[in-house]
Amino acid sequence: MPNKTFFWFFLPTGLAMILFIGLPIISTGIQSFYAQHDQIVKEVKKCDPFGCTVSIVVDQEATSILRDEKPLGKFNGFGTYIDRNHLAIEQISDFWKETDSFGEFINQVTNLPFYKALLFTLTYCLFVTPNVLLLGFIIALSLNAISRKIRGPLIFGTILPMIVTPLVGSLVLFWMIDAEGIIGANLQLMMEDPYLSLKSSRTLTWITIIIYGIWHHSPFAFVVFYAALQTVPQEPVEAAIIDGASRYQRIRHIVLPHIYPVVTFVALISLMDNFRVFEPIIGFSAEGSAQSLSWLIYDNLVNEEVILFGSAAATSMMTIVGIAILLAPVLIRTWKEFRTAR
Amino acid sequence: MRKILLTLLFVLFGTTAYADGHCSKPSGSINILANDFPALRTFVETAKGCKGSADFKVTHSSEHNKIAVPALTANPSEFSARIAANSSIVPLMNQDLIRPMDDLVKKYGKGIQDSQLITIDGKVMAVAFMANTQHLYYREDVLKELGIPVPKTYEEVVAASEKIRASGKMQHPYAAAYKAGWNLAEEFVNMFIGHGGEFFKAGTAEPNINNAKGVATLNMLKKLASLSNPDYLTHDSEAIKVEWESGKVALMTLWASRSGTLLDDEGDAKITAATKLTGPATVGGGSIPAATLWWDGFTLAKNRSDSDAEATFIALAHAASNKKMVADAADQAVWLVEGFVPGPKSIGVIEAVKMGAKPYPMLPQMGLMHGALGSEIVEFLQGKESAEQALKDVEAAYISKAKEQGFL
Amino acid sequence: MEYGLDKRSNALKTFNTTFIIIWLLIACFPFIWTFWGSFKVRADFFSRADWWYAISAFNTLLETGGQFTSKAYSEAWTEGEFWKASRNTIIVTVFVVSISLFLGTLGAYALSRSTERYAFWILIAALIFRAMPHITLVSGYLFPFFELQIWGILPTTIVVLVAINQPFTLWLLYSFFKTVPKELDESALIDGCSYFQAFRYIIMPVMWPGVITAGLFSLMLAYNDFTVTALLLNQENHTMVPKIQSYLGTNQHEGNLMWAVSAVVSATAPLFMLVMFFQRQVISGLTTGAVKG
């Protein structure tokens, strides 16, 4: 395609992305290198309906002079990135010196918020992504073999986990898996353990969230695979049947190669979405046992009265880098294909 | 039809309110940002009754905390007023986004009581209109049957809970909102204040929790947690309320503002009848209750014209001094407005004030400490680390945040 | 068109049917439970005493005198002003889906037919763009939007949702366009069509499965988004999800959980219609016989 035609085709979408994603990423990147100015505080008398106390407030006159001079804040370089709540370089080298065994060292490191979150995030990715791909593909194949007349409602049923608002989907599930809820209580019966509770132990919470993740994301893979299956040409399949190819062979040598670009796409997107896992943690109130990188960002931006933008910006940038590393193998493959296609 | 009726009601309501709530018909433009719950909706609706010719808009949002700072930073700011609490006023103060309103109080604030004014350094920064706290709820029937007196201290709460557990009536007789994050941190704050602790070294932002009081606080929390449902780390106020209603709990620490549904006719009548309220408990032999007092009040945006501020103040002051509103909505909140007759549902707050409970600290860096507490003490409760280690972690997490924010 | 299965194999057919039934049970059960529970009172559906209450309607009987009650629905729609939220959601969804698809198909087609190196880098950039957590993006928007006084209105939110969704739409459509053989439009170009005509008359008709899939995901995003809508809209313009969140109450104050439950069920009904309608389109797009390898 000539460059000029390409430009006009791509202009609208490119403009939207640069304006609303590209620029904000750059500004977030810049923000992450800055910290707030020193807050000059003074002691004053404060009175409310319950009495008076003397305590500190930010001295606006003194602080505003600093702020006006440098509105971005104090340049901090990688200071935010390496502090205790992020990469914690200093703490880790201390642990390395102080701890006697490697196990203890790992224990100490995973007690730090960033590494705790990273551990959960990676575990979640590792378990959810392949299962989502596999389950989605099997469901797509199976549904494709079902009579067309009843397929509509079946498709709707299949994608229900994805379309029920996550916010409330997990609220309802949270109650269902409660020790007194329908799933939780029946699990107790099945396991013959009256004290079994999915919410009380860390391992069970992780398993619950991972199963929820597979349940919630499989429909996504299904939809894309199903739509792709509809574009598979019929003749080669028929020819293969005549040649006596087995079902497995047909899938392996005709269907999969045809929908291969779509498989790559689903893998890329699910890996990325899983790395940004966040909603189930809120939905299941699992902050105590499971924290993810996205949850850390949310915590910095929303949970506290004071918005920690620099901190959130740093974690966001690291999330992007993390995703880039994770996706690298798939991307290199895409690049090779791209070159051969040329 | 329904709409007509509503309008009619509203007109009636509006005119009567006008008669008693000093409304001097403002003009200009009013836009309010507030949290989203019934009492605040009532309050804003009442203010709307005195909008005069002004353009009146409101946004009730669960995300109000997130929106407030950017919204009030813009000039002119989107909102002319923000309804805040003693924690959420802090970021506005830190960024210098709200205006003092002494002149307006003098001019239009006739019905507002002096006790409603929040003054900082002698300047009125907010006008409070409702109060809240966490206090003890108990099941009268259960305590009576086992011959347990109503607990006054957390030590007695522990003893009573152990007795109930031993009697076999209930496996997990105590409940409190220990959900990891904000709720759990709030429980720590309460208990630490009950032990007489100060979060920061006087006059500075240096943390001061890794000491004997901090350890005692954590140990008490752990003891109480062991008497609660094992899922306690996921339980917020809603969850423990439901547990109470299911009759599996005999002692509970919960917000006063949530007493409404525990005492209404819905649910098991036997449990409702036996549900009694009392003040917050003390701890560790202290005399100050292990609870914090909260207020909700309105603040005015700085980056907004004087005429808008005036119009907004007139409307909101009308509601903040409205006797009819507090009489009609006496069930919705503990109002700080003159003319409020405290009912049985407000016992907790009244008791807490009588006992000299402290307000939640209105400090510029308190939010950072609260956040650090919420996630770092979890592992202690789970039994994975010692109290000292947990407190050390809290301080370390806090220090990193405070450094980034320029407090240290 | 049973690629994976042989019609003759009965054992496989049975296995297939059982698998689908089990999967559907797992997939739908929470929703069926929610639907059932939405006609009960809170004390039954959100019971810690015994989950069986939700089936036996113990408290519903006590409080309303019947086994079922539609009180939550009528209250949420009138008192809870859910109708307003639904109206806003419809506006947002319609615009987001149509704009997203329009921009996305153009861009993705260009990417899939370009052999230049920059096309690859654009795709990578789009992927990196998508990696950015939404909450950080939206927090960044707040300051400029308030300063420009475009906060709170629907068009802003629509544009933001479209932009945030573009990387995904581009990638999805790009992978679909890749499955369409190049020879198809190349022959049209030789016949004297312009690129745009080739796109409009040759590619569009065979692209329905892909376009509808992309549309479905845009729709889902616009319909289910919380971060963007809750932070960028004022109360007048709140869509369904922030509205539902507001029914859940706050830490200190009681919400109205049954409103939330009935609202979720109400919100799912129109999606059922849409999915039924479009899945037929996906298949009919095919049966017109446009796709021939």
Average pLDDT over residues C2-12: 60
Closest residue of chain C to A142, computed from CA coordinates: C16
With cut-offs at 50, 70 and 90, classify the pLDDT of residue B15.
very low
User: Does A161 lie at the interface with C, CB-CB under 8 angstroms?
Assistant: yes
Determine, for residues C143 and B74 on separate chains, whether the beta-carbon distance falls below 8 Å. Answer: yes
Domain co-membership, A66 together with A151: no
Chains that touch C (3 or more CB pairs under 8 A): A, B
Taken as a whole, chain B contains a residue count of 408
Domain co-membership, A57 together with A118: no
- Judging contacts by C-beta atoms under 8 Å, the chain C residues touching residue B58 are 235
Residues A184-201 as b or e (16 or more Cβ within 10 Å = b): bbebbeeeeeeebbbbbe
Instruction: Give pLDDT, residue A180.
Output: 82
| Interface pTM, i.e. ipTM | 0.89
- Judging contacts by C-beta atoms under 8 Å, the chain B residues touching residue A36 are 404-406
Chains that touch A (3 or more CB pairs under 8 A): B, C
* d(CA A48, nearest CA chain B) in Å: 5
Nearest Cα neighbor of C113 from A278, A2, B358 is: A2
Q: Is pLDDT at C212 greater than 60 in this prediction?
A: yes
Q: Is pLDDT at B6 greater than 60 in this prediction?
A: no
* d(CA A199, nearest CA chain B) in Å: 6
Q: Is pLDDT at C293 greater than 70 in this prediction?
A: no
> Which of A143, A215, A342 is closest, CB to CB, to C115?
A342
* d(CA B114, nearest CA chain C) in Å: 26
Q: Do the domain assignments include residue A81? A: no
Cα distance between residue C234 and residue C153, in whole Å: 7
> Which of C41, C147, C246 is closest, CB to CB, to B74?
C147
Domain co-membership, A26 together with A53: no
Determine, for residues B87 and A284 on separate chains, whether the beta-carbon distance falls below 8 Å. Answer: no
Q: Is pLDDT at B302 greater than 60 in this prediction?
A: yes
Domain co-membership, A256 together with A303: yes
Give how far Cα A263 sits from Cα of A248, C166, C178, Å. 17, 19, 12
Tokens (6 digits) for B163: 């007795």
**CA angle in degrees (0–180, nearest 5) for A300-A25-A31:** 55
Instruction: Give pLDDT, residue C255.
Output: 82
Cα distance between residue B249 and residue B161, in whole Å: 9
- Judging contacts by C-beta atoms under 8 Å, the chain A residues touching residue C174 are 261, 265
* d(CA B36, nearest CA chain C) in Å: 6
Cα distance between residue B366 and residue B85, in whole Å: 13
Instruction: Give pLDDT, residue C289.
Output: 36
Nearest Cα neighbor of B230 from C175, A193, A1, A73 is: A193
Instruction: Give pLDDT, residue C274.
Output: 83
CA dihedral of residues A140, A145, A147, A148 (deg, nearest 10): 50
Q: CB pairs below 8 Å between A and B: how many?
A: 179
CA atoms C174, C179, C182, C185: torsion sign: negative
Which secondary-structure segment (H or E) carries A42?
Answer: strand A41-48
Determine, for residues C152 and B78 on separate chains, whether the beta-carbon distance falls below 8 Å. Answer: yes
Instruction: Give pLDDT, residue C5.
Output: 46
> Which of B120, B204, B231 is closest, CB to CB, to A199?
B231
Tell the burial category of A103 from Cβ atoms under 10 Å away from its Cβ (0-12, 13-18, 19+): exposed
Instruction: Give pLDDT, residue C286.
Output: 45
Query: In Å, how far from its chain's centre is CA B113?
Result: 20
Low-confidence spans in chain A with pLDDT less than 50: none
Cα distance between residue B396 and residue C214, in whole Å: 46
Average pLDDT over residues B23-27: 81
- Judging contacts by C-beta atoms under 8 Å, the chain B residues touching residue C252 are 37, 132, 237, 255, 257-258, 294
Instruction: Give pLDDT, residue B18.
Output: 39
Domain co-membership, A58 together with A155: no
What pLDDT, in 10s, does the model give residues B48-61?
999 889 999 999 98
Query: In Å, how far from its chain's centre is CA A292?
Result: 8
B119: β partners: A47, B124
Q: Do the domain assignments include residue A107? A: no
Domain co-membership, A20 together with A61: no
With cut-offs at 50, 70 and 90, classify the pLDDT of residue C117.
confident
- Judging contacts by C-beta atoms under 8 Å, the chain B residues touching residue A308 are 368, 401, 404-405
Cα distance between residue B83 and residue B298, in whole Å: 4
Specify the number of domains making up chain A: 3
B364 backbone dihedrals φ, ψ, rounded to 5°: -60, -30
Domain co-membership, A166 together with A310: yes
DSSP, res B225:
H
Instruction: Give pLDDT, residue A167.
Output: 67
Q: Do the domain assignments include residue A84? A: no
Domain co-membership, A122 together with A260: yes
CATH of B133-292+352-404, one of 1.10.3720.10, 3.40.50.1980, 3.40.190.10, 3.40.50.2300: 3.40.190.10
Q: 126-145 in A: which are within 8 Å (CB) of B?
A: none
Determine, for residues A56 and B204 on separate chains, whether the beta-carbon distance falls below 8 Å. Answer: yes
Percent of chain B with pLDDT over 70: 95
| Domains delineated in chain C | 1-27 (no CATH), 28-74 (no CATH), 75-287 (1.10.3720.10)
Average pLDDT over residues B146-155: 95
Cα distance between residue C145 and residue C143, in whole Å: 6
3-state SS of chain C?
CCCCCCCCCHHHHHHHHHHHHHHHHHHHHHHHHHHHHCCCCHHHHCCCCCCCHHHHCHHHHHHHCCCCCCHHHHHHHHCCCHHHHHHHHHHHHHHHHHHHHHHHHHHHHHHHHCCCHHHHHHHHHHHHHHHCCHHHHHHHHHHHHHHHCCCECHHHHHHHHHHHHHHHHHHHHHHHHHHCCHHHHHHHHHCCCCHHHHHHHHHHHHCHHHHHHHHHHHHHHHHHCCHHHHHHECHHHCCHHHHHHHHCCCCCCCCCHHHHHHHHHHHHHHHHHHHHHHHHHHHHHHHCCCCCC
- Judging contacts by C-beta atoms under 8 Å, the chain B residues touching residue A79 are 404
Chains that touch B (3 or more CB pairs under 8 A): A, C
What pLDDT, in 10s, does the model give residues C248-270?
888 888 888 889 889 988 888 88
Residue B4 and residue B32 in contact, taking contact as beta carbons nearer than 8 Å:
no
Determine, for residues B407 and A41 on separate chains, whether the beta-carbon distance falls below 8 Å. Answer: yes
User: Does A261 lie at the interface with C, CB-CB under 8 angstroms?
Assistant: yes
DSSP, res A84:
T
* d(CA A149, nearest CA chain C) in Å: 10
Closest residue of chain A to B395, computed from CA coordinates: A84
Q: Do the domain assignments include residue A77? A: no
Q: What predicted TM-score, i.e. pTM, was given to this entire model?
A: 0.91
DSSP string, B144-174: HHTTPPPP-BHHHHHHHHHHHHHHTS-SS-E
Q: 209-228 in A: which are within 8 Å (CB) of C?
A: 215, 219-220, 223-224, 227-228
Nearest Cα neighbor of A299 from B248, B301, B182 is: B182
For testing contact with chain C, the best of B238, B253, B257, B295 (most C CBs within 10 A): B238
- Judging contacts by C-beta atoms under 8 Å, the chain C residues touching residue B34 are none
Closest residue of chain C to B256, computed from CA coordinates: C252
Q: 26-45 in A: which are within 8 Å (CB) of B?
A: 35-39, 41, 43-45
**Mode of pairing for the β-strands spanning B81-85 and B55-60:** unpaired
Nearest Cα neighbor of A211 from A182, A173, A264 is: A173
| CATH number of the domain within which A257 lies | 1.10.3720.10
Domain co-membership, A26 together with A135: no
Determine, for residues B243 and C250 on separate chains, whether the beta-carbon distance falls below 8 Å. Answer: no
User: Does A99 lie at the interface with B, CB-CB under 8 angstroms?
Assistant: no
DSSP string, A200-235: TSHHHHHHHHHHHHHHHHHHHHHHHHHHHHTTS-HH
Q: Is pLDDT at C177 greater than 90 in this prediction?
A: no
Cα distance between residue C214 and residue C204, in whole Å: 13
Determine, for residues C210 and A231 on separate chains, whether the beta-carbon distance falls below 8 Å. Answer: yes
User: Does A83 lie at the interface with B, CB-CB under 8 angstroms?
Assistant: yes
> Which of A35, A58, A83 is closest, CB to CB, to B364?
A58
Q: What is the extent of the structural domain holding A21? A: 1-31
For testing contact with chain C, the best of B61, B178, B189 (most C CBs within 10 A): B61
Domain co-membership, A133 together with A46: no
Q: CB pairs below 8 Å between B and C: how many?
A: 105
User: Does A107 lie at the interface with B, CB-CB under 8 angstroms?
Assistant: no
A41: β partners: A58
Residue C165 and residue C221 in contact, taking contact as beta carbons nearer than 8 Å:
yes
Q: Which amino acid is at C35?
A: F
Cα distance between residue A156 and residue C130, in whole Å: 27
Q: Which amino acid is at B138?
A: Y
What are the structural domain ranges in chain B?
2-99+301-341, 133-292+352-404
Residue C16 and residue A145 in contact, taking contact as beta carbons nearer than 8 Å:
yes
Determine, for residues B403 and A47 on separate chains, whether the beta-carbon distance falls below 8 Å. Answer: no
Closest residue of chain C to B239, computed from CA coordinates: C48
Residue reference for tokens 């019905």 = B111
Domain co-membership, A133 together with A41: no
- Judging contacts by C-beta atoms under 8 Å, the chain C residues touching residue B249 are none
Give how far Cα A146 sits from Cα of A119, C13, C220, Å. 41, 9, 25
Which residues lie closer than 8 Å to A208 by C-beta, 6 or more apart?
A177, A198, A199, A284, A286
> Which of B57, B248, B255 is closest, CB to CB, to C252?
B255
Average pLDDT over residues C220-244: 91
Cα distance between residue A249 and residue C232, in whole Å: 51
Q: Is pLDDT at B233 greater than 50 in this prediction?
A: yes
B136 backbone dihedrals φ, ψ, rounded to 5°: -90, 140
Residue reference for tokens 């994603």 = A21
Q: How many Å from the N-terminal Cα to the C-terminal Cα in chain C?
A: 14
For testing contact with chain A, the best of B234, B362, B368, B408 (most A CBs within 10 A): B234
Determine, for residues A1 and C115 on separate chains, whether the beta-carbon distance falls below 8 Å. Answer: yes
Q: Do the domain assignments include residue A103? A: no
Determine, for residues C107 and A28 on separate chains, whether the beta-carbon distance falls below 8 Å. Answer: no
Instruction: Give pLDDT, residue B2.
Output: 44
